[in-house]
Amino acid sequence: MTPIQKELPIGVFDSGIGGLSVLSVLTQEFPEEDFIYVGDSANNPVGNRPIEEIERIATTIAEFLVAQPVKLLVIACNTFSVVALDKLSKRFDVPIVGMSQGIHDALRIKVKQKRKGPLGIMATVATINSHKHMDAVHSLKPHVKVLEQCCKDLAACIEEGHLDDDLLRSCAKEYVQPLVEANVEVAILGCTHYPLVESVLRELTDDRICFVDPAWETSDAVGAILYSEDLEQSTGRIGSIQVCVTSHADRVTPIVQDIFKDTSLEAKLITL
């Protein structure tokens, strides 16, 4: 890679604000990198849509980012990763990293902390219907029981800005209660929106469940590509963050500022 390609930003995208949880991890792990984030909030939620429609939305966002250009794409959305990763990887020349499933971290926690019960998976309709988390678990540990919990409306609730209120608690309780009743002690947050409200999920389960954020495993995959392809920045400076959304920029801006502890950051409204 030439120096100019190294200096390009990393593109990160999601169907809305959920991927900001992944972007937060990436900026911690790769502080010298520049990032451009696209949250297609105008099309959120995507997890309940037909497969063809999900693929089309993901492709449109990827086309926008590749045109910037970027040196690497991170699909910070489990639904997009499950449904569209293969198609996008064939269509674009830039390296593309989809969301890791958090399986290795979850299984390690179960063993190390001697946590019992089934392994819980909280995710959207499309992700649960793919059974990719369960299949991945059973490919490594066939004896581990898995409880898939479809959280149909949780991502949409979070997207609307309900990060710590009664409406969120009412919505989330419906999805975590079956996990508690099944004695789940470790659960993977299989949608990038969910880590934004992890503290509320812990509260609703009285801290009985350890929630696993797959963003950390995803960050490892990003690092592997940056270093193996000689794409990493090494200027010694702190990188920049640009956040773009397709609707409700005024609502997203304070969320961005809170996550990154930077009042100078503003969400930019774009059209795809």
Residues classed as catalytic: 77, 191
Q: Rounded to the nearest 5°, which phi and psi values hold at 174?
A: -60, -30
Instruction: Return the amino acid letter for 139.
Output: S
**Cα dihedral sign for 167, 172, 175, 177?**
negative
121 membership: H or E segment, kind and range = strand 119-123
Residue 123 in contact with residue 46, Cβ under 8 Å? no
Q: Which tokens is 33 given?
A: 């990198």
193 to each of 7, 68, 78, 237, 272, how far by Cα in Å? 29, 25, 10, 29, 21
Residue 21 in contact with residue 213, Cβ under 8 Å? yes
Strand, helix or coil for residue 226:
helix
Euclidean distance between CA atoms 128 and 4, whole angstroms:
40
Task: Please provide the DSSP assignment of 51-116 as one string.
Answer: HHHHHHHHHHHHHHHHTS--SEEEE--HHHHHHHHHHHHHH-SS-EEPPP--HHHHHHHHHHTT--
Euclidean distance between CA atoms 207 and 149, whole angstroms:
18
